Structure 1
Amino acid sequence: MESQSAKPIIAALLQPLPELTRARNDLSDEGVVRLLVRGFIDQALAAFTEVLHGRLDQDEAVDGINRQATALNAVFLGTSGFDTVIAHPWNAPDQLGAFLKDVVALDYPEDDCVRAMLIHLATQVMHALRLPDEDRNEEVEALTLDAADLLLGRAPEDDGEIDIDIGV
């Protein structure tokens, strides 16, 4: 991962979406949210794979993942400044941030909860690399769906447990 500012990284994640969304990325659209989460996960997987193969320093990988999470924090909290992103009242620290803080039991300020949840998600992705390919793919898909549901304001319905284990 090169030392890049967050805007170009997230702009790249938003790039393939306008075709599907008529040049607007609506944060209430489940498909858009899943694509953003999956793009983040794919970049985290790529960074961790590079670390495992010795082609990238672990600190550089973590810094890059944190920059992406910070940029997505701004996107999902409606402060990114991207004119292709449609944010809603839900996309605010006192709404989405408070929801994540409560449901996922994050000990972070509400305006940093999306970033914190994504960093914990990246940690779970890193652990998924230890699984056999088929299990890894299934785990990554489950993590993607869980994270997208949280970002859309949907708490888990099954047993009340959040599959994104944040280790708190």
Structure 2
Amino acid sequence: MESQSAKPIIAALLQPLPVLTQPQARNDLGDEAVVRLLVHQFVELSLEAFNEALHGRLDQDEAVDGINRQAIALNAVFLGTSGFDTVIAHPWNSPDQLGAFLKDVVALDYPEDDCVRAMLIQLATQVMHALRLPEEDRHEEVEALTLDAADLLLGRAPEDDGEFDIDIGG
């Protein structure tokens, strides 16, 4: 399966956090710090892929494929099907809960079992668009997108206008 090559990276991200934040040495998908860390790492990996493609060190299709592999692997993590024993999933982490929520709130036209991946691809697209902003605005925009995505994965709709900021329209 396509996500197999992304599994080692996702597995490394899921190494238990320090005992100070996770006394059970497991990553709880109900813990805001864990979810934000996973989304932040996805954004960082996306930025790295964009940068590698921009400088010609990676073909654009390869960069997109790598981002998609990460999104597929995180889809499995957030929907509780990854098989990682270091992850604590909750009833929320299922296609009929989280997937349906994302499908509704983000207005995704994907099956519920693919909505985390679709939302993350939209996030990567918005991050790419944010790179066009002046440098002083770029970090703030990427951080806002990251926090919005983490909130969605925790079941919190964006507070501002009720719409998720991620829009794949050009």
Q: TM-score, normalised by structure 1?
A: 0.93
Q: Which amino acid is the alignment partner of residue 135 of structure 2?
A: D
Q: Which runs of 5+ in 2 are unaligned?
A: none
- My pick for the range that moved more, 131-140 or 148-157, is 131-140
Equivalent residue for 1:92?
94
Match of 1:146 in 2: 148
- Residue 134 of structure 1: how far off its partner (Å): 2.2
1:115 maps to what in 2?
A: 117
SS in 2 for 1:91: coil
Q: How does 1:54-133 map to 2 (within 5 A)?
A: 54-133=56-135
1:30 corresponds, among 25, 29, 32, to: 32
TM-score computed with the length of structure 2 as normaliser: 0.92
Please name the residue that 2:22 is paired with: 21
For residue 6 of structure 2, what is the aligned residue in structure 1?
Answer: 6
1:21 corresponds to which letter in structure 2?
A: Q
Distance 2:141 2:132 in 1: 11
Show CA shifts across 1:54-75 (max 9, x none).
1110000000000000000000
Which letter does structure 2 place at the counterpart of 1:49?
N
State the percentage of identical aligned residues. 87
Alpha-carbon separation, structure 2, partners of 1:16 and 1:134: 34
* Alpha carbons 2:28, 2:34 under 8 Å: kept: yes
Q: State the alpha-carbon separation in 2 of the partners of residues 146 and 102 from structure 1.
A: 15
Deviations 1:58-110 (A, max 9, x none): 00000000000000000000000000000000000000000000010000000
Equivalent-residue separation in structure 1 for 2:15 and 2:138 (angstroms) = 26
Q: Which moved more, 1:127-136 or 1:72-81?
A: 127-136
State the secondary structure of the residue aligned to 2:155: coil
Deviation at 1:163, TM superposition (A): 0.9
* Residue 159 (structure 1) shift: 1.6
Would you say the 8 A contact 2:99–2:116 is kept in 1?
Answer: yes
The question of whether the paired residues in 2 share the 8 Å contact of 1:78 and 1:87 is answered with: yes
Aligned length: 166
Equivalent residues in 2 for 1:157-168 (5 A)? 157-167=159-169
CA contact under 8 A between 2:53 and 2:60: conserved in structure 1?
A: yes
Q: 4+ residue runs of structure 1 moved beyond 3 angstroms?
A: none
Q: Which runs of 5+ in 1 are unaligned?
A: none
